[in-house]
């Protein structure tokens, strides 16, 4: 039986754009980062999983920096974590034993042919764990997916209609949800598969009309709102992002 707060959060996320589980995962990640920064950054046992993983993943590193800059200005927590990581990596690299080989004719030939030799340094700086925030998100995703399947299975009043009116699950979370919960909730899995298939067919039809009406021959035919937005909804399915996120602006690398 899912917690009432999980049900409320899921229903609220369905009313927003984008994949609801992606949105709730981002919220869980943000809360985890906030908690770490304000309560645990100086706790060695809490910091250890971050050290084991050689820091947060790139996305959650950006989240960490943004949270600290937004709330305090000085990025003290970032400095505390990554200064330690820098020293650790420096020490491990200085102790690394690398192969000492002279010219190798076979290796040169293979390189020219575009064939890579097996690397003897594949285990350089191997992580001993995963990004702790990614772990939080994965656990949150699983809980929300199970909540969604259970609500569909017990035919919670109005829930199926609310889901159908939303952007629905993205491909990643649909794949994970069906893989994890199709067996315990077969009727929910069937409904979700059929609903998604029908949704994708509607979007494909709208996109075909978008393509056709952009042909000069049919220039006088006006696009409907659904046809104009179909591509955004289709990208939401494949990425989980809200449709409005797809603009001419991109982040610089």
Q: What is the pLDDT of residues 181-208, one digit of tens each?
A: 999 999 999 999 999 999 999 999 999 9
Give the chain's domain count: 1
Q: In the predicted model, what is the mean pLDDT of residues 49-75?
A: 92
In a domain, 14, yes or no: yes
Q: In the predicted model, what is the mean pLDDT of residues 107-127?
A: 62
User: What integer pLDDT is reported at residue 226 of this predicted model?
Assistant: 95
Q: In the predicted model, what is the mean pLDDT of residues 12-31?
A: 97
Q: In the predicted model, what is the mean pLDDT of residues 127-144?
A: 95
Sorting pLDDT into bands at 50, 70 and 90, what band is 39?
A: confident
Q: Can you give the residue range of the structural domain that contains 71?
A: 4-93+127-245
In a domain, 166, yes or no: yes
Angstrom distance (rounded) from CA 21 to CA 12: 11
Residue 12 has pLDDT above 60, yes or no: yes
Is residue 58 within 8 A of residue 158, CB to CB? The reply is: no
Least confident of 28-37, 65-74, 114-123: 114-123
User: Which run of H or E residues covers position 193?
Assistant: helix 186-213
In a domain, 106, yes or no: no
In a domain, 253, yes or no: no
Residue 138 has pLDDT above 60, yes or no: yes
């Amino acid at each position: 039986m899912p917690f009432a707060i999980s049900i409320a959060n899921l229903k609220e996320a369905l009313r927003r754009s984008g994949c609801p589980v992606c949105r709730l995962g981002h919220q869980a990640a943000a809360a985890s980062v906030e908690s770490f920064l304000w309560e645990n950054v100086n706790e060695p046992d809490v910091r250890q999983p971050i050290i084991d993983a050689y820091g947060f993943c790139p996305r959650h590193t950006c989240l960490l920096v943004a949270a600290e800059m937004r709330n305090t200005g000085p990025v003290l927590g970032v400095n505390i974590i990554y200064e330690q990581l820098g020293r650790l990596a420096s020490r491990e690299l200085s102790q690394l034993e690398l192969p000492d080989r002279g010219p190798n004719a076979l290796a040169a030939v293979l390189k020219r042919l575009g064939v890579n030799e097996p690397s003897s340094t594949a285990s350089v700086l191997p992580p001993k764990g995963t990004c702790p925030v990614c772990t939080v998100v994965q656990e949150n995703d699983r809980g929300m997916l199970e909540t969604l399947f259970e609500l569909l299975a017990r035919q919670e009043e109005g829930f199926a209609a609310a889901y159908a009116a939303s952007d629905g699950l993205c491909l990643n979370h649909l794949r994970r949800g069906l893989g994890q919960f199709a067996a315990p909730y077969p009727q929910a899995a069937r409904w979700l598969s059929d609903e998604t298939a029908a949704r994708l067919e509607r979007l494909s039809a709208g996109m075909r009309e978008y393509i056709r009406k952009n042909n000069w021959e049919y220039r006088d035919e006006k696009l409907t709102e659904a046809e104009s937005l179909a591509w955004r909804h289709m990208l939401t399915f494949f990425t989980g992002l809200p449709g409005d996120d797809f603009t001419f602006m991109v982040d610089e690398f």
